[in-house]
Structure 1
Amino acid sequence: MKRGGSKNPIAFVVVIVSVSCFFVLILSIFRLPDVSFSNGSMTSFNPKKITKIPENDARIGKFGEIMIEMLPQDLPFTIFVPSEIAFERDLKLRVNNSLAGEKADDTYATLTRILSFTVVPWKILSESLSYSEEITCDSLSGFKLHISKDADKRVVVNSVGSSRVDLRIGEMVIHVMDGVLMEAEFEQSVRSDDGDEDED
């Protein structure tokens, strides 16, 4: 009797604490930053406005820019953006046709899903990584990211190397990756969609 009665309250408390922690995490990630005053002027949060990416950083590509625009610049995110080549090779997304007509909605849904795998809610600069150690952290979706740096000073995440590192837009740090970081289940669904298209 005593044992059976003690399990239920403990399980209840564990569930309540887990749910509370989840909501606190979500609110802390997506909270609006406070309005601040600097030199007598007021700045406010504007998620639609994005600092123009310098021309020499154009290798971020259109799909990468769309992903970056989905995040507020005022918060310290790190995003591992796939290169334009990686989007085409791994996801069969092409700027010329994937953003046109009926395909646009599917493309935006895919980019949103990829964003959840590739964003970490704090800054990770290449200089903060050491060659001998790997750090492990969760993306916004809970996808495990194993991050290190190789001898060529490239950031490596889940065995995918970077082509550009430490790009800055607002408070964000952007690393352009030579592949797409995604869960195995999502990757399988993408491949099966490709197979369906090939059959048509």
Structure 2
Amino acid sequence: MRRRQVLKHSIALVSMLVCVCCFFIVTMTVLRLPDAPTKESAMGFYPITRSRKVSLQDGNLGKFGEMMIDMLPQDLAFTVFVPSEEAFKRDLRLSVNDSLKSDRFNDTYAILTRILGFSTVPRALLSSNVKLGELVNYDSLSGFPLYISKDIDEMLVVNRVRSEIIDVRKEEIVVHLMDGIIMDAEFEQSVLSDNDTDED
């Protein structure tokens, strides 16, 4: 008699544990937690800044950014990862006051054209098209590979360059303002060595 009661209690206990485990699995599946940040973002390869989505009226693309956008046809879909004015100054030593003077304008325009080739994708790509934890790959107009992911606070990261402002629309063109310049190492070296020669 006692054995029968122990057996009944054991079966009831095991059944209850199975029910609790099933409930836990179903709950975790339905209420899926967001993915943990990738190893690169956790290690901090780019600075953490808080940004917000803005409309074109609020988003100041800067003189260089506007010049880049004006080089593209407005009626075709493009995505441009435009460097901020601060990024141009910090990374390429280009400033609006000096670089747009008549003696340097052609060189500056050529640099902007190359940057546009490295940082433009021939399709509209909004931040909502990139899922958190996903890495998407597109070739830019110049054939330079762009690796695009989304940070934990919804900002885009392209080749380890983080966005400051996302999803600015200018007709068919989508613009993301970046805290850095997307370019290949060879072009970066040539521009920086030209700047060093100019300063001497």
**TM-score, normalized by length of structure 1?**
0.71
Q: For 1:182, what is the secondary structure of its paired residue?
A: coil
Q: Could you tell me how far 1:113 is from its partner in structure 2?
A: 0.6
Partner of 2:191: 190
- Asked whether the 8 Å contact 2:56–2:168 carries over to 1, the reply is no
* Runs of 4+ in structure 1 over 3 Å off: none
Partner of 2:88: 87
Partner of 2:131: 130
| Distance in 2 (alpha carbons) for counterparts of 1:90 and 1:147 | 20
Partner of 2:158: 157
Q: Could you tell me how far 1:54 is from its partner in structure 2?
A: 4.4
**TM-score, normalized by length of structure 2?**
0.71
| Distance in 1 (alpha carbons) for counterparts of 2:140 and 2:161 | 15
Partner of 2:102: 101
Q: What whole-Å deviation, never above 9, does each CA across 1:16-38 have from its counterpart, x for those lacking one?
A: xxxxxxxxxxxxxxxxxxxxxxx
| Distance in 1 (alpha carbons) for counterparts of 2:183 and 2:57 | 28
Q: What whole-Å deviation, never above 9, does each CA across 1:161-188 have from its counterpart, x for those lacking one?
A: 0000000000110000000000110011
Partner of 1:57: 59
Q: For 1:196, what is the secondary structure of its paired residue?
A: helix
Q: For 1:56, what is the secondary structure of its paired residue?
A: coil
Q: Which has the larger radius of gyration?
A: 2
Percent identity between matched residues is 55
Q: For 1:180, what is the secondary structure of its paired residue?
A: coil
Q: Could you tell me how far 1:190 is from its partner in structure 2?
A: 1.4
Equivalent residues in 2 for 1:58-73, closer than 5 Å: 58=60, 60-73=61-74
Q: Could you tell me how far 1:197 is from its partner in structure 2?
A: 2.8
- Asked whether the 8 Å contact 2:56–2:170 carries over to 1, the reply is no
Please tell me the residue identity of whatever aligns with 1:174.
V
Please tell me the residue identity of whatever aligns with 2:186.
E
Please tell me the residue identity of whatever aligns with 1:57.
G
| Distance in 1 (alpha carbons) for counterparts of 2:57 and 2:173 | 18
Q: What whole-Å deviation, never above 9, does each CA across 1:65-103 have from its counterpart, x for those lacking one?
A: 000000011101000000010011111111111101110
| Structure 2 unaligned spans of 5+ | 1-54
| Distance in 1 (alpha carbons) for counterparts of 2:193 and 2:88 | 16
| Structure 1 unaligned spans of 5+ | 1-52
How many residues are aligned here?
A: 146
Q: Could you tell me how far 1:118 is from its partner in structure 2?
A: 0.6
Q: For 2:106, what is the secondary structure of its paired residue?
A: helix
- Asked whether the 8 Å contact 2:132–2:151 carries over to 1, the reply is yes
Partner of 1:28: none
Q: For 1:146, what is the secondary structure of its paired residue?
A: strand
Question: Pairwise CA RMSD of aligned residues?
Answer: 1.2
Q: What whole-Å deviation, never above 9, does each CA across 1:102-150 have from its counterpart, x for those lacking one?
A: 1000000000010000110001110111111100110000000000100
Higher relative contact order (CA closer than 8 Å, sequence separation 6+): 2
